[in-house]
Structure 1
Amino acid sequence: MTNTVIVYAHPQETSLNHAILLAVENQLIQEGISFNVLDLYADHFNGQYTAAEYHLYRQGKTLDPLVKSYETQLRHCERLIFICPIWWNDVPAIVKGFVDVVFKRNLFYFAGKRGIRGNMPQLKSVQVLTTSTSPTWYLKLFCGDAIRKVFLNGTFKQLGIKTRSWQNFGGVTVKTASQCRHYLAKVQHEF
């Protein structure tokens, strides 16, 4: 089974996010780690509920074969990596939709009197790699630190994932090509 799943969300293959994806893939290959990429845009993933899909949500079921495939892969992964840009100070809507539609109640978590209790004992870590126009410090201090506070320490903490990390390459629109290459080398080295 695949022990690492990468959720990738960017519509352009010429983006820095795509280069980050390639750097991570190369490092995982060098380390002999099996992985699978869920390319949300290439897969034409729809992160919106239909009435029929929402009806099945509480049962942990779906009619969508793509969602079923994603769920199967997530049920067996030990490491989950998100690679995406930050748009309007948060993950893109397609990533939020992925979490909404794929992480179903009574499949990936249970609802109880004290809130959500995760049901993903095999998943050991979640890593988020992002790029942003805003500098990272600005996102943290003035924009609510949504990736850390909500995405990681809210959603994935509730799912029971103890190891959670976020790395952002901020201020991308003012970075030089050399700075981007240096960052990509750093990403590959750290993985």
Structure 2
Amino acid sequence: MSTTTKPILIIYAHPYSGSFNHAVLETIKQNLTRQKQAYTVIDLYQDQFNPVYDTEELRLFHTGQTHDPLVTKYLALLKSAGEIIFVTPIWWNALPAMLKGFIDKVMKEGEDLTHTVTKTGVKGCLTNLKQAYVFTTSTSPTLYFKLMSGNSIQKIFINKTLKQLGIKKAKWINFGGITNSTVQQRQKFLSRCNQLQFTH
């Protein structure tokens, strides 16, 4: 059984329930249930989250306030979790706009929120999140993505964004070449997801 006392928060960013990303999500949920680990899922598309800033939301940003009730809900879930799991495709060598918008809108400035801004840069306040797991799928093979396509997930999202938010440990697991993958290759990846121990 996991020693984690706080629930794990899963951020899921794919619109199609028949996708391989959804199969990854369901496998992770089954794994967590088997480990007797409490979890909550934020399904951004199912929630119909609006990732676009409007004028009022932008005006409220530096006060740490919002007029979007989903942002308030998501912030509370972030602050109460012990670990975080992202399940997302890689589209055009980067995060989907939906997930990028989640980062843009939900990561509010404030000591009791997600980060503060100091003279030396951003100081993360999500130190309650001891570990992040980033599950992705990509059309490009993983090695090609890492060496030829900029490796934005590791270099930007994990090494910069998550660390700036106070999440110091992260594990990235990608299923590359998904378009031309075989059933056996997909089953092998799902088996890997099912065997992973989620604990900090």
Q: Same fold (TM over 0.5)?
A: yes
1:190 to partner: Cα distance: 1.4
2:177 corresponds, among 166, 171, 184, to 171
* Structure 2 counterpart of 1:189, from 179, 190, 195: 195
CA distance, structure 2, for counterparts of residue 178 and residue 149 of structure 1: 30
Runs of 4+ in 1 over 3 A off after TM superposition: none
- The root-mean-square deviation of aligned C-alpha atoms, in Å, is 1.1
For the pair 1:47 / 2:51, whether they are aligned, the reply is: yes
How far apart are residue 121 of structure 1 and its match?
A: 2.4
Aligned residues: 191
**Match in the other structure for 2:132:** 126
Q: Deviation of residue 179 (structure 1)?
A: 1.2
Deviates more, 1:79-88 or 1:2-11: 2-11
* Structure 2 length-normalised TM: 0.93
**C-alpha contact 1:2 1:36 (8 A) present in aligned 2:** no
- SS of 1:120's equivalent in the other structure is coil
Question: For residue 33 of structure 2, what is the aligned residue in structure 1?
Answer: 29
Query: Mind listing any 5+ residue stretches in structure 1 that lack a counterpart?
Result: none
State the partner residue of 1:72. 76
Question: Equivalents in 2 of 1:40, 1:2: separation in Å?
Answer: 22
Residue 3 of structure 1, CA deviation: 1.6
Q: How far off its partner does 1:171 sit?
A: 0.2
**Residue in structure 2 matched with residue 4 of structure 1 by the alignment:** 8
User: Match for residue 105 of structure 2?
Assistant: 101
Task: Structure 2: give runs of 5+ residues left out of the alignment.
Answer: none
Tell me the percent identity.
43
The residue that corresponds to 1:19 in the other structure is: 23
Q: Secondary structure of the equivalent of 1:58?
A: helix
Paired residues of 1:80 and 1:125 also in contact (CA < 8 A): yes
